[in-house]
Amino acid sequence: MSLDVQVVAVALLAVGVIGFMKGAFGGGFAIIGIPLLALVMDPIAAGSLLAPLFVAMDVFALRYWRPRTWSRPDLLWLLPGLLAGGFAGAFLLPPGHRPAGGIPLAPTAPLLARVGGGGAGPGAPGARG
Q: Is the dihedral of CA 111, 112, 114, 120 positive or negative?
A: positive
Residue 62 per-residue DSSP state: H
Q: What is the mean pLDDT of residues 45-52?
A: 84
Task: Give pTM, 2 decimals.
Answer: 0.51
C-beta separation of 91 from 101 below 8 A: yes
Cα(16)–Cα(24) distance, rounded to whole angstroms? 12
Amino acid 59 reads V
Alpha-carbon Rg for the chain, nearest whole angstrom, is 18
Cα(94)–Cα(112) distance, rounded to whole angstroms? 27
Output the pLDDT for position 38.
Answer: 86
Q: What is the mean pLDDT of residues 64-90?
A: 84
Output the pLDDT for position 104.
Answer: 57
Angle at 64 between CA 66 and CA 87, to 5 degrees: 45
Convert the pLDDT of each residue in 21-32 to its tens digit.
887 777 677 778
C-beta separation of 15 from 54 below 8 A: no
Please state, rounded to an integer, the average pLDDT across all residues of the chain.
75
